[in-house]
Amino acid sequence: MSELDDIHHWLREQLPALLLEYKVPAAAVAISVGGDVIDVAAGVLSRATGVEATADSVFQVGSITKVWTSTLVMQLADEGRLDLDAPVRRYVPQFCVADEDASAAITVRQLMSHTAGFEGDIFTDTGKGDDCVEKYVASIAGTSQLFAPGAMFSYNNAGYCVLGRVVEVLRGKPFDACVREHLFTPLGLTHAANGADEAILFRAAVGHVQPAPDADPVPAPVWALARSNAPAGSMLTMRARDLLAFGQMHLDGGKAADGTRVLSADSAAAMQRPQVTLPALGLMGDAWGLGWELFDWPGGPVIGHDGNTIGQAAMLRLVPGRNVAVALLTNGGNPFGLYTSIFPRLLRDLAGVQLPALPVPPAEPETVDVERYLGTYACDVAEQVVERDGDGRLWVEQRPKGLMAELGGQVERTELVRLSDDRFVPLKATHGVHLPHVFLGDDGTGHALYIHSGRAIRRVPPTA
Task: Show which residues are catalytic.
Answer: 63
Cα distances (angstroms) measured from residue 49 to each of 58, 126, 208, 323 = 16, 31, 13, 38
Closest among 183, 215, 175, 436 to 311, alpha carbons compared:
215
3-state secondary structure of 458: strand
Write the Ramachandran bin of 447: left for phi over 0, alpha for psi from -120 to 50, otherwise beta.
beta
237 closest CA partner among 289, 310, 166: 310
- Amino acid present at 41: A
- Give the chain's length: 464
Residue 59's closest CA among 174, 196, 178, 188?
196
**How many CA atoms are closer than 13 Å to the CA of 404, on its beta-carbon side?**
15
Residue type, 263: L
DSSP count for the chain of H helices, then E strands: 13, 21
Q: What are the C-alpha distances in Å from 424 to residues 286, 340, 356, 366, 390?
A: 17, 21, 18, 11, 19
Closest C-alpha to 161, from 193, 114, 93:
114
| 399: exposed, middle or buried (Cβ count in 10 Å: 0-12, 13-18, 19+) | middle
Give per-residue burial for 54-83: e unless 16+ CB within 10 Å, then b. ebbbbbbbbbbbbbbbbbbbbbbbbeeebe
* Start-to-end C-alpha separation, the chain: 72
